[in-house]
């Protein structure tokens, strides 16, 4: 059962418990009596997101209603989690690997591309999307080992992407998209006046250009495409439109006024929400599904600020949410290393020497949480953070956004093995600012 910090400190001081895990901090009782045989049922709530889903561990508060004989259910927040996933990094890594593979085929020898001899199972998701489902499910099973969860609550999100672009769309309008009656190139010629959007050149061959380059996460949506002559297209390259037109703000405003925000996040939520619901349903516990509108209504009615974790606490049919002013544990997916043995240049060819084959050096592995007590020298002091191991035995320790380099392994002591996740604790105010792209970065536990 989750307990307060004071009770955990007393249990450890009286030798009635021992530390089971440091981050997230979990203790294990060394003995139990008859009064500890029953637990209060807890509920785990989810707020699905494209990048950072929120989780909230709450205790149901059931009280009788004064107007009727029905029972009113509230939620007392016990723990808040935000799971920062790395789907974008996975997508970029696969794109870079594909480009380098094609480059090597053209430079070295011809190998026929293999794309028609692979089949996909029913319900297949792209690796970057499947990662979102797998990490959420992994943390559900992890929290279930630590707390007596008896039910789940989750948002069943369905985002109307057409309605996001055109709030007045109705009926047959859903069947007539942006390119209705056009091909892509003809639509761009009509939309941009058959001239270069950067220099107004006309009568010259025009090329299709991405406003936000593919190298910077841009998509092939027609709202992200424009026309450019060959000199402008070469000069822009992979620069953003803001950087390329920094000295021409009027033209930049004209181009950005016709561009629309990408719908990648909305598409990712639509694709993964059903898979996450099916994964929770297979666990066998009671599953409550609610709409995003109900979550927003609860959040505004209770005066709760908007963060991913607090949105999760407001999911479902609840009459009150209490004890929500508490730190949020931010969990970042870091992965478990790479199989890559060499660094690559921009063409995909090996550069430098080979990386070490051993995963551990002197008993330490990259991602382990360590404590280093350096007694003397320029780096004298105590450092607690994640270690990046080196074959030389001199490691780098990352803590609070800073990296301490060249710490000898003999000064390091293992605190917790790395498991592919990095944890940090943030306040609700910092979580809301970070969701808006503002505020400081979280500080580590």
pLDDT tens digits for range 210-242 = 988 888 878 888 888 999 999 999 999 888 888
Tokens 């450019």, located at residue: 228
Contact residues for 236 (Cβ-Cβ < 8 A; gap 6+): 198, 209, 228, 244
Residue 61 CB contacts under 8 Å (≥ 6 apart), including other chains? 73, 74, 75, 76, 320, 322
* pLDDT at residue 10, rounded to an integer: 94
Report whether 171 contacts 183 (CB < 8 A).
Answer: no
Question: How high is the pLDDT of residue 121?
Answer: 83
259 or 285, greater pLDDT: 285
pLDDT band at 67 (very low <50, low <70, confident <90, very high): low
Helix (H) or strand (E) holding 271: helix 264-281
Q: What is the pLDDT of residue 111?
A: 67
Q: pLDDT tens digits for 39-52?
A: 788 999 999 888 88
CA–CA dist 238, 233 (Å, integer): 9
Is-contact 241 174, C-beta < 8 A? no
Q: How many H helices and E strands in the chain? A: 12, 22
State residue 51's pLDDT score: 84
Coil/strand/helix, residue 149: strand
Tokens representing residue 119 in the block: 């089949």
Mean pLDDT over each residue of the chain, to the nearest integer: 84
Quote the CA–CA distance of 444 and 415 in Å, as a whole number: 14
- Pairing status of strand 149-155 against strand 42-47: parallel
pLDDT at residue 262 tops 90: no
The predicted structure's pLDDT at residue 54: 92
**Residue 107 or 352, more confident:** 352
Q: Which of 76-85, 104-113, 227-236 has the lowest mean pLDDT?
A: 104-113
Query: Alpha-carbon distance 409 to 405, whole Å?
Result: 12
Mean pLDDT of 107-136: 80
Burial status of residue 244 (CB atoms within 10 A of its CB: 0-12, 13-18, 19 or more): buried
Of 401, 404, 361, 396, whose CA–CA distance to 379 is shortest? 404
pLDDT for residue 430:
57
97: left (phi over 0), alpha (psi -120 to 50) or beta: alpha
Region 290-301: what's the mean pLDDT?
A: 90
Reported as a single tens digit per residue, the pLDDT across 152-203 is: 999 988 888 778 777 788 888 777 777 777 888 888 888 888 889 898 888 8
Q: What is the pLDDT of residue 445?
A: 28
pLDDT category at 432 given cuts 50, 70, 90 is low
Question: Are residues 148 and 1 in contact, defined by beta-carbon separation less than 8 angstroms?
Answer: yes
Max CA separation in the chain (angstroms):
88
Does residue 292 have a pLDDT over 70?
Answer: yes
Q: Would you tell me how many other CB atoms lie within 10 Å of the CB of residue 86?
A: 19
pLDDT of 43:
93
CA 248/CA 298 separation, integer angstroms: 46
Query: What tokens appear for 130 in the block?
Result: 């499947």
Cα–Cα dist 315/296, whole Å: 9
Q: What is the pLDDT of residue 35?
A: 59
Please report the pLDDT score of residue 152 as a whole number.
94
Query: Picking from 170-184, 334-348, 421-435, which range would have the lowest pLDDT averaged per residue?
Result: 421-435
Instruction: Quick: pLDDT tens for 22-40.
Output: 888 899 998 776 555 577 8
Domains of the chain: 1-35 (no CATH), 39-104+127-161+263-336+420-445 (3.30.420.140), 180-260 (1.10.30), 349-418 (2.30.30)
Contact 305, 428 (CB under 8 A): yes
> Residue 399 in 3-state DSSP?
strand
| Contact indicator for 270, 159 with CB cutoff of 8 Å | yes
Residue 294 scores a pLDDT above 80: yes
134: pLDDT confidence band, cut at 50, 70 and 90? very high
The reported pLDDT for the residue numbered 438 is: 46
Q: Is the pLDDT of residue 120 over 60?
A: yes
Catalogue the long-range contacts made by 402-406 (C-beta closer than 8 Å, 24 or more residues apart): 404/372, 404/379, 406/379
Backbone angles phi, psi at 409, to 5 degrees: -65, -25
Dist CA 13 CA 349 (whole Å): 57
Decide which of 290 and 97 is more confident.
290
Distances (CA, A) of 360 to 322, 369, 394, 405, 408: 45, 14, 13, 18, 15
Q: Which residue has the tokens 């998701």?
A: 125
Cross-strand pairs, 414? 370
Name the residue among 266, 214, 262, 260 with its Cα closest to residue 92.
214
Crossing angle for the helix pair 87-107 and 127-146, to the nearest 10 degrees: 140
C-alpha to C-alpha distance for 418 and 409, rounded to whole angstroms: 16
Candidate from 103-107, 229-233, 370-374 with smallest mean pLDDT: 103-107
Question: What mean pLDDT do residues 329-348 have?
Answer: 80
- Mean pLDDT computed over 308-322: 90
Per-residue pLDDT for 151 more than 90? yes
The neighbouring-strand residues paired with 442 are none
Q: How far apart are CA 439 and CA 203, in angstroms?
A: 49
* The predicted structure's pLDDT at residue 36: 57
| pLDDT score, position 424 | 76
Sequence-distant (≥ 6) Cβ neighbours of residue 204 within 8 angstroms: 196, 229, 230
Predicted TM-score (pTM) of the model is 0.79
Of 425 and 280, more confident: 280
Does the pLDDT value for residue 298 go beyond 60?
yes
Q: Among 100-104, 211-215, 265-269, 305-309, whose mean pLDDT is lowest?
A: 100-104
Alpha carbons 75 and 184: distance in angstroms, whole number: 51
């Amino acid at each position: 059962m989750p307990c307060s910090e004071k009770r955990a400190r007393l249990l450890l001081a009286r030798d009635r418990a021992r530390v089971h895990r440091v981050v997230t901090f979990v203790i294990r009782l060394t003995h139990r009596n008859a009064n500890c045989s029953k637990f209060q049922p807890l509920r785990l709530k989810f707020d699905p997101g494209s990048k950072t889903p929120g989780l909230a561990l709450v205790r149901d508060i059931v009280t009788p209603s004064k107007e009727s004989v029905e029972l009113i259910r509230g939620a007392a927040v016990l723990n808040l989690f935000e799971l920062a996933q790395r789907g974008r990094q996975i997508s970029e890594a696969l794109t870079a690997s594909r480009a380098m593979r094609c480059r090597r085929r053209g430079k070295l020898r011809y190998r026929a591309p293999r794309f028609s001899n692979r089949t996909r199972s029913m319900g297949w998701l792209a690796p970057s999307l499947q990662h979102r489902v797998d990490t959420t499910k992994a943390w559900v099973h992890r929290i279930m080992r630590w707390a007596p969860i008896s039910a789940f609550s989750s948002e069943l999100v369905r985002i109307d992407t057409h309605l996001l672009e055109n709030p007045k769309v109705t009926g047959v309008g859903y069947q007539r998209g942006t390119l209705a009656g056009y091909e892509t190139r003809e639509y761009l010629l009509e939309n941009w006046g058959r001239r270069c959007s950067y220099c107004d050149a006309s009568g010259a061959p025009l090329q299709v250009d991405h406003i936000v380059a593919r190298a910077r996460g841009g998509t092939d949506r027609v709202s992200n495409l424009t026309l450019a002559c060959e000199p402008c297209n070469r000069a822009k390259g992979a620069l953003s439109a803001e950087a390329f037109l920094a000295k021409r703000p009027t033209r930049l405003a004209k181009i950005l006024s016709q561009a629309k925000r990408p719908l990648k996040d909305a598409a990712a939520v639509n694709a993964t929400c059903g898979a996450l619901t099916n994964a929770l349903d297979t666990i066998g516990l009671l599953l409550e599904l609610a709409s995003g509108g109900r979550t927003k209504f609860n959040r505004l009615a209770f005066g709760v600020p908007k963060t991913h974790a607090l949105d999760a606490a407001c999911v479902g049919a609840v009459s009150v949410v209490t004890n929500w002013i508490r730190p949020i544990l931010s969990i970042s997916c870091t992965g478990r290393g790479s199989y890559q043995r060499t660094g690559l240049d921009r063409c995909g060819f090996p550069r430098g020497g080979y990386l070490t084959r051993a995963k551990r050096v002197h008993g330490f592995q990259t991602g382990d949480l360590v404590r280093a007590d350096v007694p003397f020298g320029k780096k004298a002091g105590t450092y607690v953070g994640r270690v990046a191991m080196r074959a030389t035995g001199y490691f780098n320790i990352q803590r609070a956004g800073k990296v301490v380099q060249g710490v000898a392994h003999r000064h390091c002591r293992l605190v917790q093995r790395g498991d592919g996740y990095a944890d940090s604790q943030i306040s609700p105010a910092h979580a809301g600012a970070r969701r808006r792209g503002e505020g400081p970065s979280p500080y580590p536990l």
